Chains A and B, each alone.
Chain A
Amino acid sequence: MFFLLGSASILLALIIRFYRLAGQWTESGQIIFQNILMVFFLQFLIVILALFYGTSIVSEEVEGKTLPYLSSRPLSRASIIIGKYLSSLAVTSIMLVSTLLISYFILNLDRDFQLQDIWTIVRYALVLLLGLAAYLSFFTFLSTWLARPILLGLAFGFGWENIIQYFPGTTQKLSIVHYLKSLLPQYSSASGRLSFLFIRLEPTADWLAVLILVLITAVFLALAALLFTFKEYLIQD
């Protein structure tokens, strides 16, 4: 299912490509990628991937009644959570980066690639991976805390994050997506007919945005590991 979601970005890139070939769209592939596909990746794909993988980290084991197979092994309980987090991050990262590369190249097939383009795509990939790590960490924490984390996860990922990022002043800094947008140049210097997508961003400095994203990841992962260490999970008969 998640591969299908990832494929949606490729399909979108193909549609835009054909539309451009028909002469209906004059902006360059680079601009379209930045302004449309990155919005899809940033505000939908990484959230949904992190939500479904993160919230199932504990609940899948509890509902599937397989948790005793892990919790009766000579492992610290924290390492179970961190191991499951890392494996989920690895799987989702591969899905994300592969679809990102394919859709980027579809939209930019007519360009002569230069070193600058490689840096651009690497930067996009790193920003998305940072976002994925942060969201996954938060949803992993929800999974260790709540028996049914998906509803709160949905409310956070598609409610809070979508609304709070448009608030002026420091309020928008209470969302993860704010720091991701701060790392992408198009959100800080938007112009043209797609600029309405980028209203109201008051960017945080690059180094600070990266630091905060790393801190969010570390703090929620540590909380998840701590909670899982001391909480017992009742498996219903």
Chain B
Amino acid sequence: MTAVIEARNLSRWYGNVLGISDLNLEINQGITALLGPNGAGKSTFMKIITGQLKTNIGEARIFGEKVWNNRHIFRRLGFCPEDDAFYEELSGFEFLAGLLSLYGFSSAEGEQRARQALELVELTDVADRKVRSYSRGMRQRIKIAQAIAHDPEVLILDEPLNGLDPLSKRRIIKLIKEFKNSGKTIVVSSHILPEVEALTSEIILIHQGKIIARGDIYFIRDLIDTHPHMIRVKSPQFRQLAQTLAAEDYVLKMAFEPLEQAVVFETHDRDRFFNRLNEMVLTLPVIIDEITSPDDNLQAVFDYLVGK
């Protein structure tokens, strides 16, 4: 079976800056997440497969057809761009109905589809308000509405959960899953692992324009867990904490920050480390002010994976 989205030897650079490099991948029906830090090449890939950008080398196809300058493919494609940009003077309803008119729908059908899309993203109440007056969450939802209003088979969502409050995030995640259940192909980009985990288990890790791993979430988790994590604990009894935890075999290194009353642990087993820390809080007279993970961001994980 031919993949819905295919990229063959895709390379794109901006002057001297590399966007993506020799990227090969196939994406099938369901939700696929592109995960990578900012600047990894996710948006470049999405812009190429939605016909916004040309490739320098290679080609991108959807349903076996080239994308660049192929207007016929756009009827089957919905794109939610990353930028928070709108025709601010239009109301949410006018924005959707106007864009739907570009598909050749009659005005009655366009209006009906616009109302349906507004209902799906729960914006019916504010349909007649200008987009300019929308909150960040509403703006993100109206952007998704314009991508789904014509009922496309393929949805490309560039950072759709960016800047949303937890409730809005939950709504959007639910909506995206409903689309998946109706047999559509959805590609979502994110730089936040827990967001992606809530959406799908099919993940492509992208870094510096290249795919560095692909698989389900458990594979990626295992991959990440083979590398040590840093955990910074701030406590008035930081020396006592360090003394106790130094005996544990999963604690690999410790570094003191006496001025901050903190100690940074390096461990290859976060679960055991946190279990032990919980026990200590319950059994020993220690107060913990703060726990942070200096490397608990995707950039650090990717640096480990690429051996930096």
Contact = CB atoms under 8 A, between A and B. Distances in A.
B63 interface: no
B1 to A, nearest CB: 25
Interface in A66-88: 66-77
Contact of A232 (B54, B71, B83): B54
8 contacts: A64-B87, A68-B81, A69-B81, A72-B50, A74-B104, A75-B74, A232-B54, A235-B52
Interface string A32-69: 00000000000000000000000000000000111111
A71 B102 contact: no
Contacts of A67: 52
Contacts of B54: 232
Counting chain A CB atoms within 10 Å of each CB, the highest count among B14, B85, B99 belongs to: B85
Nearest to B102: A73
Interface residues of B, number: 24
A235 B47 CA distance: 10
B52 A74 contact: no
A74 B87 contact: no
B69 interface: yes
Contacts of A237: 83
A70 B95 CA distance: 12
B218 interface: no
B83 A235 contact: yes
Given A73-B74, A229-B69, A234-B14, A68 B102 contact: no
B86 A71 contact: no
A13 to B, nearest CB: 32
A70 B102 contact: yes
Interface string B37-72: 000000000010011111000000000000001011
A166 to B, nearest CB: 42
B77 interface: yes
Contacts, number: 56
A66 B51 contact: no
Interface string B65-108: 00001011011010101010111000000000001001110000
Given A77-B69, A234-B14, A71 B52 contact: yes
Tell me the interface secondary structure of chain A in the complex. Answer: loop
CB-based closest 8 A-B pairs: A65-B85, A73-B102, A65-B83, A72-B79, A74-B75, A74-B74, A68-B81, A74-B71
Nearest to B50: A72
Given A74-B72, A74-B74, A68 B103 contact: no
B267 interface: no
B146 interface: yes
Tell me the interface secondary structure of chain B in the complex. Answer: loop
Contacts of B47: 68
Given A74-B102, A75-B102, A68 B75 contact: no
Contacts of A71: 51-52
Given A73-B99, A76-B71, A77-B69, A68 B87 contact: no
B14 A72 contact: no
Nearest to A76: B71
A79 B81 CA distance: 22
Counting chain A CB atoms within 10 Å of each CB, the highest count among B47, B71, B103 belongs to: B71
Contact of B79 (A64, A68, A232, A234): A68
B102 A66 contact: no
A66 B87 contact: yes
A69 B53 contact: no
B130 to A, nearest CB: 15
A76 to B, nearest CB: 6
A66 B86 contact: yes
B57 to A, nearest CB: 15
A69 B146 contact: yes
Contacts of A70: 102
A16 to B, nearest CB: 37
Nearest to B86: A66
A183 B275 CA distance: 89
Contacts of A66: 85-87
Nearest to B82: A237
Nearest to A79: B71
A137 to B, nearest CB: 23
A15 B51 CA distance: 55
A66 B89 CA distance: 13
A81 B77 CA distance: 22
Given A65-B83, A72-B50, 4 more contacts: A64-B85, A66-B85, A66-B86, A72-B51
A174 B45 CA distance: 46
Contacts of B81: 65, 68-69
A232 B102 contact: no
A232 B74 contact: no
A37 B269 CA distance: 83
B74 A72 contact: yes
B53 A73 contact: no
A69 B72 contact: no
Nearest to B88: A64
